[in-house]
Chain A
């Protein structure tokens, strides 16, 4: 239902999240973020271009990861947001709290 693929770059970890992120599996994203943060990762980029669905439990995970990273002077950036996930971020005004880019390359270029 959801797949998370991690790629490590010099300054950030890219997590490509695809499929459907719901109440049952959002914790997998939490674990992926925890893993990288515990290894000293400060900047995470979530590529959501193949994410078809996200519910409020998924939003909680994005928010929680962003707050943890902010507390260590890091950041969670989003890219590729479209369709229903984009509408969900807009409806909850979370789009105003994240740095959102079209592509992962654009997000990486800001670091």
Chain B
């Protein structure tokens, strides 16, 4: 059976994140997610979208699309951009054992996404990057 998606496309900029939050929250409300889960979903989306806004178009500009499909009690979310080929799941995890003075500033966003949703998939197709995940996922803190 074909899955139906709600879609929103906006410029890949940090200023678009809150609009995407509102958009996906409509779906989250429809499947009955509570406010704690909605904040976690906001966090996952923000981390993915900020990465795209900062790195996908290498100083240029472009769009990003967020799509979601509702399922009983959960959402399937896809985030697609037309920027350079980049699989955030390939990036090395930050060293969490380093002390305060040595801890690099950054690299924590992908870690948070992985911890919260547990399972993410990436595909590169027709010059586009798509990250997809189910929320709530099987992540360790998805309560």
Interface residues of chain B: helix, strand, loop or mixed (majority): helix
Q: How far is the CB of B93 from chain A (nearest CB, A)?
A: 11
Chain B residue at minimum C-beta to C-beta distance from A59: B108
Task: Give B contacts to A, CB under 8 Å.
Answer: 14-15, 17-18, 36, 39-40, 42-43, 46-47, 50, 94, 96-97, 99-101, 103, 105-106, 108-109, 111-112, 115-116, 141
Q: Can you list 29 contacts pairing A with B, beta carbon distance less than 8 Å?
A: A22-B18, A23-B14, A23-B17, A23-B46, A24-B14, A24-B15, A52-B39, A53-B39, A53-B42, A55-B47, A55-B50, A56-B47, A56-B108, A56-B109, A57-B50, A59-B108, A60-B105, A60-B106, A66-B100, A67-B100, A67-B101, A67-B105, A87-B141, A88-B43, A91-B116, A91-B141, A92-B94, A93-B97, A97-B100
Q: How far is the CB of B52 from chain A (nearest CB, A)?
A: 12
State whether A55 touches B46 (Cβ < 8 A).
yes
State whether A24 touches B108 (Cβ < 8 A).
no
Q: How far is the CB of A21 from chain B (nearest CB, A)?
A: 11
Instruction: Report how far A33 CA is from B112 CA in the complex, Å.
Output: 25
Instruction: Report how far A84 CA is from B46 CA in the complex, Å.
Output: 14
State whether B108 touches A70 (Cβ < 8 A).
no
Instruction: Report how far A87 CA is from B43 CA in the complex, Å.
Output: 12
Instruction: Report how far A42 CA is from B105 CA in the complex, Å.
Output: 21
- A64 at interface (Cβ–Cβ under 8 A)? yes
Chain A residue at minimum C-beta to C-beta distance from B113: A56
Chain B residue at minimum C-beta to C-beta distance from A62: B105
Which residues of chain A come closer than 8 Å to B39, judged between CB atoms? Answer: 52-53, 84
